[in-house]
Amino acid sequence: MARKAAGRPQEETLSLWKREQALLKTLVVDRDTEAWQRDLAFSGLQRVGGVDVSFVKGDSVSACASLVVLSYPELEVMYEDCRMVSLTAPYVSGFLAFREVPFLVDAVQQLREKEPRLMPQVLFVDGNGVLHHRGFGVACHLGVLTDLPCIGVAKKLLQVDGLENNALHKEKIRLLKGGGDSFPLMGGSGTVLGMALKSHDHSTKPLYVSVGHKMSLEAAVRLTHGCCKFRIPEPVRQADIRSRDYIRRTLGVQGAPALRPERSKKAQRPKACPQGASEEPAVSCCVINCSVKSTWQRTEPTCPSPCEGAILEVHPPALAVI
């Protein structure tokens, strides 16, 4: 029997989330911080990561969180970690991080502890960075909490700050001729929030690339194009494929598609929390201590390792070790 997640969080919870976003936003770095980012050939870049949360069809509680690390420039999988998680709250536009990021932070922490030599030098995230209602999307959130360079790559245009998927926008897309062609996404405020990128010669729809953390937009766009064997960057594509395969093998779910649907079809997907944890809508798996009390506090002693019965405290910009 399919399980259903809790309803929309209370306004008090949403207000806390907004405060947390505003606080963590001050820690975002939107410029290149590594030598390899400033090199046109990305000399020195050896490992690129991708994350994904895939959902079980007909079940709004069960999901699979995955992290993969690929070699660069070969784009061969060097590491993968997939795990089933349980969800407790619904998807709320603008707050994707509060249902998905706790598991992805945990996956990065596990990799740091188990195989530090395989830590990715950059993470690709299926979602937005500064191209967001409040300038702090899931790619920014994950970047700040892990202190890793992050790139937000979305498949659909988030219509914020006056950006619209109108006739003019579609005409600009039509004028993108070859893989690597792009145009800026300038909002009504005059700020360039991201780039629309034709990621592959045969793609008819662009990707929407935005800064997550510790990387410039120009470098993020170039690297995204360099990681695309198909339309979707290979790190995200592999994370998605492997998480879906893990669901099939673990639950016996048949016929799951290789690539998950567009973000708009995820509107009913709930907020993530580790399997066996409390299913109260305002509770997730971590707490972030950044001068305001977060709503992400783990209270269940049944949470899976590495922090059974403990609280994971993240002190930006570095990820604290329990």
The separation between the first and the last C-alpha atoms of the chain, rounded to the nearest angstrom, is 37
Cross-strand partners of 271: 89
Rounded Cα distance between 45 and 42, Å, is 6
8-state DSSP, 215: S
Which has the closest alpha carbon to 233: 260, 201, 207? 207
In the chain the beta strands, taken as DSSP E runs, fall at 47-55, 62-71, 77-89, 123-126, 150-154, 182-186, 192-197, 207-213, 271-274, 287-288, 313-314
Q: Are 238 and 68 in contact (CB under 8 A)?
A: yes
Domain ranges, ordered by start, for the chain: 11-254+268-283
| Percentage helix, strand, coil for the chain under 3-state DSSP, each rounded to 5 | 30, 20, 50
**Per-residue confidence (pLDDT) for residue 268, from 0 to 100:** 38
Fold classification of 11-254+268-283 (topology level) = archaeoglobus fulgidus dsm 4304 fold (3.30.2170)
Rounded Cα distance between 150 and 140, Å, is 7
**Per-residue confidence (pLDDT) for residue 60, from 0 to 100:** 76
**Per-residue confidence (pLDDT) for residue 64, from 0 to 100:** 96
8-state DSSP, 318: B
- pTM confidence score: 0.78
Which has the closest alpha carbon to 186: 214, 207, 206, 157? 157
Rounded Cα distance between 154 and 208, Å, is 5
Whether the link from the prior residue into 73 is cis, omega within 30° of 0, is yes
Rounded Cα distance between 54 and 188, Å, is 34
Which has the closest alpha carbon to 274: 91, 92, 114, 84? 84
Rounded Cα distance between 210 and 275, Å, is 31
Residues of the chain with pLDDT under 70: 1-7, 89, 253-322
Residues 6+ apart with CB under 8 A from 117: none
| Cα 268 to chain centroid, rounded | 17
Rounded Cα distance between 283 and 9, Å, is 10
**Per-residue confidence (pLDDT) for residue 290, from 0 to 100:** 36
3-state secondary structure at position 182: strand
